[in-house]
Amino acid sequence: MLVKDIMSREVKTVRPDTKLAEVASLMCLYRYSGLPVVKDSKLVAVISEKDVLQRLFPSLEEMTDKAATLGLDKLMGQYKEVLSLRVRDVMTQNPLTVEPTMHVLRAATVMNRHKFRRIPVTEGDTLVGMLSMGDVHKGLFHANMASTLRSTL
């Protein structure tokens, strides 16, 4: 089974100049954990929930310094400021990708090794789809259940 057999082909994308407020809306409304960033039809980056929220996380020093007042509520209040930024300000450039002709388990191994739940599928630098762990699981389930059903008939 190849990536192209199970990947999602209809992919919502954003541009580097998109405001984070729009990205956060998409993430919250449609439960996207990340989106590909394209420019001139080419994949240039990805943006994840972690990229958006990372600006609010206290530093390690703040978390370990018992004398420091963290002001976590104040950090939470900075969320509005983060949403005024653009995708280009927080996106992860040069993302790892897989090819549509890659074996599904090889792609899933790449995802697992890097702790990704989803990965862009590209031909060259052109985005052609997205592959999620859910896609992999569903593809394996259908492939194995189809053979089980055939053998019982």
Q: What CATH number does residue 143 fall under?
A: 3.10.580.10
Q: What is the pLDDT of residue 69?
A: 56
Print the domain residue range for 105: 3-152
Mean pLDDT value of segment 121-132: 96
Q: Which carries the bigger pLDDT value, residue 106 or residue 80?
A: 106
Length reported for the chain? 153
Which residues are CB-neighbours of 103 under 8 A, at least 6 positions away? Answer: 1, 2, 3
- Quickly list DSSP for 93-111: ES---B-TTSBHHHHHHHH
Global pTM value: 0.83
Number of structural domains the chain divides into: 1
Percent of the chain with pLDDT over 90: 71
Asked if residue 32 lies in contact with residue 50, where contact means CB atoms within 8 angstroms, the answer is no
Q: For residues 101-127, b (16+ Cβ closer than 10 Å) or e, as one string?
A: ebebeebbebbeeeebebbbbbeeeeb
